[in-house]
Amino acid sequence: MSRPSPLHLAVALDGAGWHPAAWREPLAQPADLLTPGYWAGLAAEAERGLLDFVTIEDSLGLQSSRRLEPDRRTDQVRGRLDAALIAARIAPLTSRIGLIPAVTATHTEPFHVSKAIATLDYVSGGRAGLRVQVSARPDEAALFGRRTMPRICVTGRDDPAVRRLAAGLFGEAADYVEVVRRLWDSWEDDAEIRDRATGRFIDRRKLHYIDFVGEHFSVKGPSITPRPPQGQPVVAALAHGTEACRLVARSADVGFVTPRDAGQARDIVAEVRREQAAAGRAGETVHLVADLVVFLADDAAAAVARRARLDDLAGYPYTADAAVFAGTPAQLADLLQDWQASGLAGFRLRPAAIPGDLVHITTGLVPELQRRGAFRHQYQASTLRGLLGLPRPVNRYAA
């Protein structure tokens, strides 16, 4: 039997951690959450663990314990910095790890975001990505005043109105990504001449109007930023439900999925692959990466006890859209290898409490996977596309 491919491994960074009471942990640093040093330290720790990339959470409204509306809680972390600007700040302080900030497509402009992520790709030397997300929150729509969002029931996903709303939002996100990708290609790689003798800085013939006209956007282009070092920075999306899976299949390089077990992982992988074939991308690499919230300790009972203690501080049992794991790094390694056989390319771990669980990932889980031959011992590429085994794409406008 052949050995499975080495895992791709990432962490999702969000404030003090994914548990709402994480900021009250003894090792937490709540006073530092809005400082650049805090985020630089987390990225440096992830890079010491040789992780493929970090994602940085973001939203347009305050964090909330409710999925589609704000709450009035004062006992949980509220307020955050802009994810793309965090990534740009920490990029020069790292050298190999990929940086993928979240961006809400629903209320932002693809031209601005294409420029920001292209800039991040330059600042990082080719390690930028973009996690595109949608928003159905009425309070976030009210911040912009350009559209309204209906109030919907989270449990009513099969309601025709809810499905129409989801189809519209994810369809808009797909157009958004298409505009962003075309803008990244709107400068050919050799459009800049920089010839002092002739006084020619650019070859205007190698800048292209993208002329995108769709239901949601009409963008002429070109970008004002030359083509990024990777050609196309990595595009990622979280896949919940059919519409989100369709977005991943149609538009993304990486899809984050949330199975509860290996069997469900296999079903989700099969669904995305069917959608990928329907979108005409069957021959392209789209990595499917499972999300897991992790509580880690050297002793399994200690990890379970810490989760219970944080639940007591929060006042309710913690649940998530993804599976929740509490145990040792070795036990987590067993689970990851078991799920990998379902067709997953890797995992994005959400540390329940930072920095503790992040350190357990880099100093406990990674060495365990290395001992099993399931993870790298050194970085083998200098760009994020290189780490993920994705080729640098040819410019669509080049002759």
pLDDT tens-digit profile, the chain (399 residues): 456 688 999 999 999 999 999 999 999 999 999 999 999 999 999 999 999 999 999 999 999 998 888 898 999 999 999 999 999 999 999 999 999 999 999 999 999 999 999 999 999 999 999 999 999 999 999 999 988 888 876 665 677 888 889 899 999 999 999 999 999 999 999 999 999 999 999 999 999 999 999 999 999 999 999 999 999 999 999 998 899 999 999 999 999 999 999 999 999 999 999 999 999 999 999 999 999 999 999 999 999 999 999 999 999 999 999 999 999 999 999 999 999 999 999 999 999 999 999 999 999 999 999 999 999 999 999 999 999 999 999 999 997
Rounded-to-integer distance, Cα 265 and Cα 257, Å: 8
Q: What is the pLDDT of residue 157?
A: 63
Q: What is the CB neighbour count within 10 angstroms for residue 282?
A: 12
Say which residues have a Cβ less than 8 Å from residue 299's Cβ, sequence separation at least 6.
328
The whole model's pTM is what?
Answer: 0.96
What is the helix (H) or strand (E) element at residue 100, kind and residue range? strand 98-104
Contact 288, 257 (CB under 8 A): yes
Rounded-to-integer distance, Cα 305 and Cα 297, Å: 10
What is the helix (H) or strand (E) element at residue 246, kind and residue range? helix 241-251
Q: What is the pLDDT of residue 61?
A: 93
25-34 CB contacts, 8 Å cutoff, 24+ apart: 25/310, 25/353, 25/356, 27/353, 27/355, 27/356, 28/353, 28/354, 28/355, 29/355, 30/77, 33/77, 33/79, 33/80, 34/79, 34/80, 34/81
Complete domains list, the chain, with CATH: 8-157+228-387 (3.20.20.30)
